[in-house]
Structure 1
């Protein structure tokens, strides 16, 4: 999976250009970051410009090439920002470690979103907040079908446009507190809170001790 994103890194900023008009929506969502923050799938760092200043953030991505390109943007961040190579489906952090977890077009890209959400639930403290900016499948029958057809094309590059992310969030043990539209009912800003009871996918065993990251690229800037 990391190889796909290493290849996409060189074109990532061009593809993300269409998302620039979503900047105000992202900035409004990210403004709620508080405490110790985990940002998943940071890519080349195009979202860093929307981070509020003076936060303590660990940003992860599965692709080393994405992280290499993100580094200059991370160095300009006015706060504490650490970049680390990690799989969102196997987070190398202890339980109840973060106060806030943020995803940005992450759940349409991970192979197993239910597992990724279960991992978020594990590392987020009880009552901690989950902030998500995500593509989801439209509930409009026509738009939903269009997204199904689009997914036949986009799946080869690691992106699925037709996932029921709201339902997956609830199944993972989160209580959704607010949903706002950034574009129709296809791109949503989602706010949720971790409930006390963890909902793991079948066969999943959580970790209480962090594992050492296999490869890291760290940036700290204060």
Structure 2
């Protein structure tokens, strides 16, 4: 693991307990509805990348087989608790999306929710998703990105160093461009909150 990845992992281990509080506040808005909509599109053998504290586990459909990864041991501890609470069967593993320990073309569906803001090398991570996704599979993402509105984008750029220092997440990632550079096709791009939070459906 690179030094950047290791420092990010340590940061998320440190703040894992506080994530439960901040996420509960976020879920009071529309985020829970957006998460549920993403998971309603899942089918077959599914990989959730960046399971975190397990905020999506309650939305797992009974019809799918889910593997879920995170590179923070502390986050996974909370995710295991959530799986037990909701009675969901899920294969939880400690793993870095930049170096997935899965064979090529393993999954029918790959889901990420607010993950690629914190992956140290997003292109490397996205190429790994493409590798383990079946040729006729799908990658579904709920991600926040840098706004294309000039003033909003500049504000996000100015605030980004502070946010990264506190929680390790970049608020100005150009995830759409990163997907294109990774040769992943964006089939559906739906704006959920301005042009900052997006629901993306991709193919390879």
- TM-score normalised to structure 2 length: 0.91
Partner of 1:184: 194
Q: Report if aligned partners of 1:54, 1:79 keep a CA contact under 8 Å in 2.
A: no
Q: Report if aligned partners of 2:141, 2:200 keep a CA contact under 8 Å in 1.
A: yes
After the TM superposition, which of the residue ranges 38-47 and 79-88 deviates more from structure 2? 79-88
Question: How far, CA to CA, are the matches of 2:175 and 2:75 in structure 1?
Answer: 24
Point out the structure with the larger helix share.
2
Q: Report if aligned partners of 1:13, 1:44 keep a CA contact under 8 Å in 2.
A: yes
After the TM superposition, which of the residue ranges 44-53 and 58-67 deviates more from structure 2? 44-53
Indicate the RMSD between aligned Cα atoms, in angstroms: 1.3
Q: Mind listing any 5+ residue stretches in structure 1 that lack a counterpart?
A: 195-222
Q: Mind listing any 5+ residue stretches in structure 2 that lack a counterpart?
A: 1-7
Cα deviation for residue 79 of structure 1 reads: 4.9
Aligned to 1:89, the other structure's residue is in SS state helix
State how 1:93-112 maps to structure 2 within 5 Å: 93-112=102-121
Partner of 1:173: 183
Q: Report if aligned partners of 1:55, 1:80 keep a CA contact under 8 Å in 2.
A: no
Aligned to 1:167, the other structure's residue is in SS state helix
Deviations 1:81-109 (A, max 9, x none): 11110011110001111111111111001
Deviations 1:167-192 (A, max 9, x none): 11122111111111221110111000
Aligned to 1:147, the other structure's residue is in SS state helix
Pairing partner for 2:21 from 14, 26, 39 = 14
Pairing partner for 2:160 from 151, 155, 170 = 151
Question: How far, CA to CA, are the matches of 2:180 and 2:41 in structure 1?
Answer: 20
After the TM superposition, which of the residue ranges 147-156 and 132-141 deviates more from structure 2? 147-156
Partner of 1:161: 171
